[in-house]
Amino acid sequence: MAAPKNKPTPKVENGNGGRKIFGTDGVRGTANIEPVTAETALKLGRAAAHVFAQMSVLAGRSGGRTTIVIGKDTRLSGYMLENALAAGVMSLGADVLLIGPLPTPGVAYITRSLRADAGIVLSASHNPYEDNGIKFFRPDGYKLDDEIEQRIEHLVFSGEIESIRPTAGKIGRATRIDDALGRYVEFAKQSFPRGRTLDGMRVAVDVANGAAYKSTPCILRELGADIIVAHNTPNGRNINRECGSTHPEEIQRIVKETRAQVGISHDGDADRVLLCDEHGEVVDGDEIMAIAALDFLKRGCLAQNTLVATVMSNFGLDETLQKHSGRVLRTKVGDRYVIEAMMKEELNVGGEQSGHMIFRDFSTTGDGIVSALQILRIMAETGKPLSELKACLAKYPQAQRNLKVREKKPLESLPTVTKLVEETEKELAGAGRVLLRYSGTEPKIRLLIEGRDGDRINLQADRIAGEIQELIGV
């Protein structure tokens, strides 16, 4: 197979001569092509160790050596990047705790549990196995803010720490943590009521040959569920391949064939989840949020009676919450923006239509199994099937198009596209909306049109998508 062509790094002014490696969700790209190379990973390890050591001193946590947790999903390239990162961290005199394959939320939890100075997870989430990524967590398990990412990025390029070379006993060491999986299993189970079980519930699970291939089945079994597990034999190359939350048709098939009461489908790093009801119908993030938010409202547990969602979530979500004296706070697309809003406003439930859900009462980041357990709890407590629970959300029809692009030109430089968008918005006459944006992690542009007439918005979406394809499509 021919090697993929080197992807140019975006030119962004950031004090590094225009070079930028952090995107909307860490560093991501084709593995072994810049910036996701062993060489850059080593530099990132050195830079991160330096920055986190300084942060520990400022926070008054400096009582010994800096310690950084490194976890990963099941991609083949994880071995290469793990070793390079670890080498970089240790070369700055910090210690490494290796926890192996574990869901991204598991890495965040273990970072807190072991009282480490930072956590690093190697994953490209729902992307194919050829890709990989490097994401960082603070000591409290939350993702880094932009300022800290920029400091790390600056050190990667500036050479400022090139002279810092500990020797002899000051070089860091690596230790493998053998009980990380067990710790995370117990943590996730704590989000489910201690006095309740899943006895008698038949659950189908698609773990996408990813990071949750051991943890999610283990958690559900220990809670008493009768489970059917699929795509749980990772080989380094099959993560997300025709399975997982990006291929919901697979969990639909499994639920129908096994007559399960509910289906659970993760992405590669299991920070998101999509569900499937007993009839084989997909239950997306908006429906999961609606079910959970109404339950939290009923129990008086939804902070400030407010759910956080992105601009991509269906407007029916707002109407559903309003009917029950709640409200929806909207953010930009990306779980980091959802979490930022939740922290700023002191809110506890939020998420994305794609299946990223954050339940801050239990976790600091999106957690697929913790999110699923909230719905399984509601099913168990009410005795209602998932198909009945999801009916609480009356959705507006949506037309979505995800198009691969050869370049990400500014939208204002595509006048024929912007004109079509303006015409569509005028036709909707306030009874709908148009969203058009580039993906922050993939060479794609995403179009969403929402309105009351499904046939009409699909025609509008095809018209805009066709023009985009003509101008910048692959």
* pLDDT tens digit sequence for 132-162: 999 999 999 999 988 999 999 999 999 999 9
Residue 307, pLDDT above cutoff 60: yes
Is 179 annotated in a binding site? The answer is: no
Measured distance CA(289)–CA(306) in Å, rounded: 11
Q: Is the same domain home to 349 and 418?
A: no
Q: What is the mean pLDDT of residues 287-300?
A: 98
Q: Is the same domain home to 301 and 423?
A: no
Give the relative orientation of helices 285-298 and 316-323 as an angle to the nearest 10 degrees: 10
Between residues 264 and 398, the one the model is more confident about? 264
Measured distance CA(371)–CA(390) in Å, rounded: 15
CATH code, 79: 3.40.120.10
Q: Is the same domain home to 165 and 240?
A: no
The distance of Cα 303 from the centroid of its chain, to the nearest Å, equals 23
Is 117 annotated in a binding site? The answer is: no
- For residue 10, the one-letter residue type is P
Q: What is the mean pLDDT of residues 442-452?
A: 92
Q: For 243, how many CA atoms within 13 A lie in the half-sphere containing its CB? A: 25
- Tell whether 329 is covered by a domain: yes
CA distances from 115 to 89, 108, 138, 182, 218 (A): 17, 11, 10, 17, 25
429: left (phi over 0), alpha (psi -120 to 50) or beta: left
Q: Which of 177, 200, 220 is the last residue of a domain?
A: 177
What local confidence, expressed as pLDDT, does residue 385 receive? 98
Q: What is the mean pLDDT of residues 7-36?
A: 71
- Tell whether 173 is covered by a domain: yes
Decide: 27 and 9 in contact? Cβ < 8 Å.
no
What local confidence, expressed as pLDDT, does residue 62 receive? 59
Q: What is the mean pLDDT of residues 285-300?
A: 98
Of 355, 368, 386, 365, whose CA–CA distance to 213 is shortest? 368
Q: What is the mean pLDDT of residues 164-170?
A: 95
Task: Work out the number of other CB atoms within 10 angstroms of the CB of residue 433.
Answer: 16
Token pair of 242, please? Answer: 């025709």
Q: Is the same domain home to 165 and 237?
A: no
Give Dmax (Cα) for the chain: 71
pLDDT tens for 357-383 read 999 999 999 999 999 999 999 999 999
Q: Is the same domain home to 290 and 359?
A: yes
**Catalytic annotation present for 191:** no
Q: Going by C-beta distance under 8 Å and a sequence separation of 6 or more, which residues neighbour residue 425?
A: 433, 434
What local confidence, expressed as pLDDT, does residue 439 receive? 87
Helix (H/G/I), strand (E/B), else coil: 17: coil
What are the start-end ranges of the H helices in 76-179? 78-91, 104-113, 146-158
- Tell whether 406 is covered by a domain: yes
Is 269 annotated in a binding site? The answer is: yes
Confidence of residue 1 (pLDDT cuts 50, 70, 90): very low
Of 400, 56, 362, whose CA–CA distance to 189 is shortest? 362
Q: Is the same domain home to 93 and 230?
A: no
Query: If you count them, how many residues does the chain have?
Result: 474
Confidence of residue 56 (pLDDT cuts 50, 70, 90): confident
Q: Is the same domain home to 210 and 352?
A: yes
Q: Which of 107, 142, 177 is the last residue of a domain?
A: 177
Q: Is the same domain home to 97 and 199?
A: no
Measured distance CA(457)–CA(400) in Å, rounded: 9
Confidence of residue 19 (pLDDT cuts 50, 70, 90): low
Residue 18, pLDDT above cutoff 60: no
Is 271 annotated in a binding site? The answer is: yes
* Count: domains in the chain: 3
Mean of the per-residue pLDDT values of the chain = 93
Q: What is the mean pLDDT of residues 324-332?
A: 96
- Tell whether 4 is covered by a domain: no
pLDDT tens for 219-258 read 999 999 999 999 999 999 999 999 999 999 999 999 999 9
Q: Is the same domain home to 378 and 432?
A: no
- Tell whether 378 is covered by a domain: yes
Token pair of 170, please? Answer: 């000051």
Decide: 277 and 262 in contact? Cβ < 8 Å.
yes
What local confidence, expressed as pLDDT, does residue 370 receive? 98
Place of tokens 């995800």: 402
Q: Is the same domain home to 214 and 349?
A: yes
- Tell whether 5 is covered by a domain: no
- Tell whether 101 is covered by a domain: yes
Q: Is the same domain home to 349 and 286?
A: yes
Q: Which of 390, 406, 435 is the last residue of a domain?
A: 390
Decide: 84 and 44 in contact? Cβ < 8 Å.
no
What local confidence, expressed as pLDDT, does residue 456 receive? 93
Of 264, 268, 251, whose CA–CA distance to 209 is shortest? 268
pLDDT tens for 83-131 read 999 999 999 999 999 999 999 999 999 999 999 999 999 999 999 999 9
- Tell whether 10 is covered by a domain: no
Query: How many distinct helices (H) and strands (E) make up the chain?
Result: 14, 18
CA distances from 17 to 11, 47, 419 (A): 9, 17, 35
- For residue 160, the one-letter residue type is E
- Out of 91, 123, 125, 313, pick the active-site residue: 125
What local confidence, expressed as pLDDT, does residue 441 receive? 76
Q: Is the same domain home to 165 and 188?
A: no
Decide: 130 and 30 in contact? Cβ < 8 Å.
yes
The domain of 172 spans 27-177
CA distances from 155 to 222, 250, 372, 418 (A): 45, 44, 39, 39
